[in-house]
Amino acid sequence: MNIKKQILHSYTAKFFFSTLLTKLLMLIPLLLEAQDLEPKKVYEQEAFTVEVYGSGPPIYLIPGLASSGDVWEGTVNRFKDQYECHVFTLAGFAQKPATGKTPFLETMNKEITNYIKDREPGLIVGHSLGGVLTLIITSENEQLVQKGIVVDAYPFLAALMQPGVTEQEVQFPRQMLKNQVNQMDSIAYRNRQRNTLQTMVSAEKDLENVLEWSMQSDRTTVVNAMADIMQTDLRDDIKEIEIPVLVMLAGNISSGEQGTVSKSQIMQTARNQYEQLEDKTLKVAGEAKHFIMLDDPEWFYQTMEAYFNASD
């Protein structure tokens, strides 16, 4: 009887340790991946923070309005073995302290341009507000950009809502909105932001992340940045761009009572807005909402890879 117990005990112990070892071995790739996600360098500047990952030719990744550079986490994972990824978080967004400097776009354009000048020309990828900055930087300093990728941004956002409007005619209630959002308590503001953001990203976990970045952003900076976007018309400026530019567009857009906007409508709007951009490629991301890199990451990465690898 004692021998049977010893055998059973020995077998149980071996099974336990074997199972534990198997689980630990399964965790190794995850632990290594987590270690790989640690930036090799971090640059803290007043206008932004940049985290640098990987090695190779540089990619400069600029997030959108009230977003953290963490929005590019999947992109960095995909490309860090081939490229050196410079991931920006702009001042006033996602816990990065605001500078108070205005105009916002002009300030960011100047500081990001100087950052790239201190390094070397590379690929620039910008989402939303970051896409607008990509167009500005490229049109003014094309020698710094090898190829550009604009993720769901347009040269003149106001014209999507008011066709025929000019930059000078756009009336944006900047001060009224600043007063309004700064007077809201955190619960009311969170509800407001959630209602807006749920039209821009599909998965609940992604929505929660994007919402937290928004809640951690300086409200005055957010309004100033949005006002700058609405009152900036780059449709003529982009004719100065001669390098290749890929424009990725969200395909899952709701138009209120009119329902979902068709792919052909999205493409036609993009062709009109980007008419003056000579070397362009326009792609619509099927069912993805505004945060294409979160809604359809595999399509996003494959489209980027194909574009980066295409011969000019």
Report whether pLDDT(2) > 60. Answer: no
User: 209 is written with which tokens?
Assistant: 């992340």
Q: What is the pLDDT of residues 91-113, one digit of tens each?
A: 999 999 999 999 999 999 999 99
pLDDT, average across residues 128-150:
97
Look at residues 249, 253, 254, 259 and name the one whose alpha carbon lies nearest to residue 285: 249
Report whether pLDDT(183) > 60. Answer: yes
pLDDT of residue 9: 47
Dist. CA 28–CA 105, nearest whole Å: 43
pLDDT, average across residues 220-239:
97
Write the single-letter amino acid at 223.
V
pLDDT of residue 312: 52
**In the sheet where 280-285 sits, what is the strand order?**
41-44, 48-53, 84-90, 58-62, 122-127, 145-151, 245-250, 280-285
- Write the CB contacts of 88 (distance below 8 Å, at least 6 apart in sequence): 48, 49, 50, 60, 61, 62, 63, 69, 112, 130
User: 226 is written with which tokens?
Assistant: 């949005």
pLDDT of residue 36: 53
User: 162 is written with which tokens?
Assistant: 């008011």
pLDDT of residue 311: 65
Report whether pLDDT(177) > 60. Answer: yes
User: 142 is written with which tokens?
Assistant: 């094309």
pLDDT of residue 30: 42
pLDDT of residue 19: 45
pLDDT of residue 261: 87
Report whether pLDDT(210) > 60. Answer: yes
Statement: the pTM of the whole predicted model exceeds 0.85: yes
The pLDDT-based confidence of 256 (bands split at 50, 70, 90) is low
Dist. CA 236–CA 59, nearest whole Å: 26
DSSP conformation letters of 119-153: S--EEEEEETHHHHHHHHHHHH-GGGEEEEEEES-
For the chain, the domains span: 1-36, 41-309
User: 49 is written with which tokens?
Assistant: 């923070």
Q: 84-88, 145-149, 161-165 — which is least confidently predicted? A: 161-165
Dist. CA 150–CA 154, nearest whole Å: 8
CATH superfamily of 41-309: Alpha/Beta hydrolase fold, catalytic domain (3.40.50.1820)
Q: Please give the residue that has the higher pLDDT: either 18 or 163.
A: 163
pLDDT, average across residues 51-67:
98
Q: What is the pLDDT of residues 37-50, one digit of tens each?
A: 799 999 999 999 99
User: 224 is written with which tokens?
Assistant: 């100033």
Cis before 97 (ω within 30): no
Q: What is the pLDDT of residues 10-31, one digit of tens each?
A: 444 444 444 444 444 444 444 4
**What does the mean pLDDT of the chain come to?**
90
pLDDT of residue 255: 67
The pLDDT-based confidence of 8 (bands split at 50, 70, 90) is very low
pLDDT of residue 310: 85
Report whether pLDDT(160) > 80. Answer: yes
Report whether pLDDT(276) > 90. Answer: yes
Q: Please give the residue that has the higher pLDDT: either 36 or 286.
A: 286
